[in-house]
């Protein structure tokens, strides 16, 4: 599936719920299903420190595609990480770098990626893109 | 005391967030401002705005008088003997930076030479050699703080001892968030020059026995600094009864505007302390070779002060004093007790800070739930609380937690709001488990 198709799937999933409580319940479930970072990478080198919650992120390139794993001590943060992982994992670095992220707006979660949230998510997104950039450069 | 009438003074409370009525329980971070305070500041800019102290014209004189009257009101509110013992600052943080910097210079940078002879040297002779001339030797510098300080009452002192060489001593606390007074006295025997402590902890709500701690500090020749950021709005302050050498506070946590606060200091110490910011207003005479400084309190107020906010602070004090303060305290204590009782029914809840004497706030975590998650969910229910380390990371480390959820109260909060808080936390914790 392309990034756009995956994003549309997420938008469809979220649009089933009118109530924000249900959306957050779904996000919490997604947090619990996040592809967890291997214990060996769960250290300071892979840590993205938000003021409120911490995020660990790792990425590897397999057959020209990027695969992310992560963890966070806060489950809502982890749910949003999993959303991004669902969108980005298994895609080529080039597709990741050119992806449009407006789907976060459509599902009403953009506030979590605001620079004022201090939950580490915005830095994590930047880190995801940095990984993609590094992989793109290494495969050229 | 009619809470509904009080709430009419705070228009900001009357709004919906995410379609729910706002329940504002983040008062330890900043309180809302009553109309009279907002009007006072507005009025200043509408009719009185002027730079103060130097102008010969009518407006300047009026503004100067108003500003100096505000200083007198602050002095009266905390029972300072003299209004020149009140220095206006931007708030607690600036007051503490002023103290750490200026006292650092006074004690450790050779400014000592300017101290009038015959003054008690407050522990300065307690350096290992017992010789006053050894002051300034790095091994003699000790600042005693407590384990529950806000970063604002930790980092300036830590930077001070790092700059001058020296040591930060820390009074430990127990699992309830109560300071170990015996350990405190033992640490005093190491002869710190300065002791600094929160009156009320911003994370644990502990009301510290500051009067006794100040007495002990003096007994061992140390200066005593009290951080009153969390106490000014809730407890009566009498700096003469406390006998503290310095008391610092923020206006915005006591219904006044942001950007104004104060430092009370005993005249004898303020006189000795060198200024730490320089410029207009704080000088007496200036030539290219030499500057002499203005008298108290002006030598510590470089530049144009926040006059409008100072007038707002005066109005906030009048506002607080327009109520029976004991009645207000009773109401706030009842809110706190109800919150603790309601929340304690939630499975896995753990209160961080269970001192017998607490004021203004409750801090907690729930097993297996990150404070950030809880705060995010109850925010959606209209409940504004603070989550995180509350600028007191060492406290979190002490309790082995990433942060807490903190609900803090002001006079305008209601029992209904406490019920909403309890319901919201209950619902959120069910969702997050």
Report d(CA B415, CA B417) in Å as an integer: 5
B146 contacts B179 by C-beta, under 8 angstroms: yes
Give the domain ranges of chain A: 3-138
Does B183 lie in the same domain as B98?
Answer: yes
Per-residue burial over B125-160, b if 16 or more Cβ lie within 10 Å, else e, is bbbeeeeeeebbbeebbbbbbbbbbbbbbbbbbeeb
- Has residue B116 been placed in a domain? yes
Residues 6+ apart with CB under 8 A from B341: none
Does B290 lie in the same domain as B146?
Answer: yes
Does B98 lie in the same domain as B54?
Answer: yes
Of chain B, the end-to-end C-alpha distance in Å amounts to: 40
| CA closest to A80 among chain B residues | B373
Does B207 lie in the same domain as B173?
Answer: yes
Query: pLDDT at residue B117 above 70?
Result: no
Of B372, B377, B431, the CB nearest to A52: B372
What mean pLDDT comes out for the span B25-37?
98
B208 contacts B197 by C-beta, under 8 angstroms: yes
Closest of B208, B431, B41 to residue A31, by C-alpha: B431
Q: What is the mean pLDDT of chain B?
A: 92
Does B248 lie in the same domain as B367?
Answer: no
**Interval B204-214: pLDDT, tens:** 999 999 999 99
Residues 6+ apart with CB under 8 A from B63: B44, B48, B49, B50, B51, B52, B55, B307
CATH number at residue B180: 3.40.640.10
- Has residue B56 been placed in a domain? yes
Does B64 lie in the same domain as B168?
Answer: yes
pLDDT value, residue B132: 38
- Has residue B36 been placed in a domain? no
Does B332 lie in the same domain as B297?
Answer: no
Contact assignment for B403 to A52 by CB distance below 8 Å? yes
Bridge pairing between strands B283-286 and B291-293: antiparallel
Supply the CATH classification number for the domain A3-138: 3.90.1010.10
A63 contacts A79 by C-beta, under 8 angstroms: no
Does B223 lie in the same domain as B162?
Answer: yes
State the virtual CA torsion across B232, B176, B340, B153 in degrees, nearest 10: 30
The residues of A carrying an active-site annotation are 51
Q: What is the ipTM score, two decimals?
A: 0.87
Return the percentage of chain B with pLDDT > 70, whole number: 93
Tally of residues, chain A: 140
Report d(CA B364, CA B390) in Å as an integer: 12
What secondary structure, in 3-state letters, does B266-285 show? CHHHHHHCCCCCCCCCCEEE
- Has residue B413 been placed in a domain? yes
pLDDT value, residue B114: 45
Split into its structural domains, chain B has a count of: 2
Interface test with A, best of B370, B377, B404 (most A CBs within 10 A): B370
Does B213 lie in the same domain as B89?
Answer: yes
Beta bridge partners of residue B168, listed in sequence order: B143
- Has residue B131 been placed in a domain? yes
For residue B158, what are its two tokens? 């830590």
**Interval B65-103: pLDDT, tens:** 999 999 999 999 999 999 999 999 999 999 999 999 999
3-state secondary structure of B399: helix
In A, which residues are within 8 Å of B424 by CB distance? none
Describe the strand order of the beta sheet including B349-351 as a list of residue ranges.
B349-351, B361-366, B404-408, B386-388
Neighbours of B304 (CB within 10 A): 12
Query: pLDDT at residue A130 above 70?
Result: yes
Does B117 lie in the same domain as B7?
Answer: no
Q: Where are the beta strands (DSSP E) in B101-190?
A: 142-146, 167-171
Closest of B364, B406, B54, B412 to residue B230, by C-alpha: B406
Query: pLDDT at residue B350 above 70?
Result: yes
Residues 6+ apart with CB under 8 A from A138: A61
Of A25, A52, A73, the CB nearest to B387: A52
pLDDT band at A12, cuts 50/70/90? very high
Report d(CA A39, CA A36) in Å as an integer: 9
Contact assignment for A24 to B377 by CB distance below 8 Å? yes
CATH number at residue B26: 3.90.1150.10
For residue B257, what are its two tokens? 């505007």
pLDDT value, residue B406: 98
Return the percentage of chain B with pLDDT > 90, whole number: 87
pLDDT value, residue A118: 64
Does B161 lie in the same domain as B80?
Answer: yes
Query: pLDDT at residue B128 above 60?
Result: no
pLDDT band at B267, cuts 50/70/90? very high
What mean pLDDT comes out for the span A14-20?
85
Interface test with A, best of B373, B402, B404, B428 (most A CBs within 10 A): B373
Residue B173 is classified by DSSP as B
> Residue B334's domain spans which residues?
3-30+325-432
- Has residue B425 been placed in a domain? yes
Does B337 lie in the same domain as B303?
Answer: no
Q: Of B304, B320, B336, which residue sits at a domain end? A: B320
């Amino acid at each position: 599936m392309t990034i756009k198709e995956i994003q549309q799937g997420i938008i469809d999933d979220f649009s089933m719920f009118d109530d924000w409580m249900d959306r957050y319940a779904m996000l919490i479930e997604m947090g619990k299903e996040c592809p967890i970072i291997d214990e060996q990478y769960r250290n300071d080198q892979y840590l993205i420190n938000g003021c409120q919650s911490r995020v660990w992120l790792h990425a590897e390139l397999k057959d020209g595609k990027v695969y992310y794993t992560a963890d966070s001590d806060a489950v809502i943060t982890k749910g949003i990480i999993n959303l991004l992982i669902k969108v980005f994992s298994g895609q080529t670095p080039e597709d990741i770098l050119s992806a449009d992220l407006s789907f976060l707006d459509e599902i009403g979660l953009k506030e979590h990626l605001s620079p004022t949230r201090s939950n580490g998510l915005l830095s994590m997104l930047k880190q995801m893109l940095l990984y993609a950039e590094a992989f793109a450069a290494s495969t050229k | 005391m009619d809470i509904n009438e009080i709430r009419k003074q705070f228009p900001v409370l009357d709004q919906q967030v995410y379609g729910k009525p706002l329940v504002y329980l983040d008062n330890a971070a900043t309180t809302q401002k009553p109309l009279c305070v907002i009007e006072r500041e507005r009025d200043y800019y509408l009719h009185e705005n002027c730079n103060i102290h130097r102008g010969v014209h009518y407006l300047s004189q009026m503004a100067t008088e108003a500003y100096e009257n505000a200083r007198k009101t602050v002095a009266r509110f905390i029972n300072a003997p003299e209004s020149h013992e009140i220095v206006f600052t931007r708030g607690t943080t600036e007051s503490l930076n002023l103290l750490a910097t200026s006292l650092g210079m006074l004690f450790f940078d050779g400014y000592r030479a300017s101290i009038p002879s015959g003054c008690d040297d407050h522990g300065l002779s307690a350096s290992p050699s017992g010789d006053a001339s050894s002051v300034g030797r790095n091994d003699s510098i000790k600042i005693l703080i407590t384990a529950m300080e806000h970063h604002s009452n930790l980092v300036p002192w830590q930077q001070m001892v790092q700059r001058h060489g020296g040591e930060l001593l820390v009074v430990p606390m127990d699992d309830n968030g109560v300071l170990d007074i015996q350990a405190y006295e033992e640490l005093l025997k190491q002869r710190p020059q300065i002791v600094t402590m929160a009156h009320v902890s911003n994370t644990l709500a502990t009301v510290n026995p500051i009067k006794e701690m100040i007495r002990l500090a003096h007994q061992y020749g140390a200066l005593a600094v009290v951080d009153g950021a969390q106490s000014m709005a809730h407890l009566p302050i009498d700096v003469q009864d406390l006998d503290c050498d310095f008391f610092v506070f923020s206006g915005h946590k006591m219904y006044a505007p942001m950007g104004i606060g104060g430092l009370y200091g005993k005249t004898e110490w303020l006189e000795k302390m060198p200024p730490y910011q320089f410029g207009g207003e704080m000088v007496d005479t200036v030539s290219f070779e030499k500057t002499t400084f203005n008298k108290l309190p002006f030598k510590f107020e470089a530049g144009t002060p926040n006059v409008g906010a100072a007038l707002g602070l005066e109005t906030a004090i009048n506002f607080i004093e327009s109520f029976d303060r004991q009645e207000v305290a009773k109401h706030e204590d009842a809110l706190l007790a109800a919150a603790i009782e309601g929340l304690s029914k939630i499975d896995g809840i753990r209160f961080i800070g269970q001192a017998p004497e607490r004021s203004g706030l409750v801090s907690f975590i729930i097993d297996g739930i990150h404070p950030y998650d809880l705060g995010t969910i109850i925010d959606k229910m209209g409940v504004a609380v603070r989550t995180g380390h509350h600028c007191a990371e060492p406290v979190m480390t002490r309790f082995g937690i990433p942060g807490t959820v903190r609900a803090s109260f002001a006079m305008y909060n209601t029992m209904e709001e406490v019920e909403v808080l309890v319901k919201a936390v209950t619902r959120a914790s069910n969702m997050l488990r």
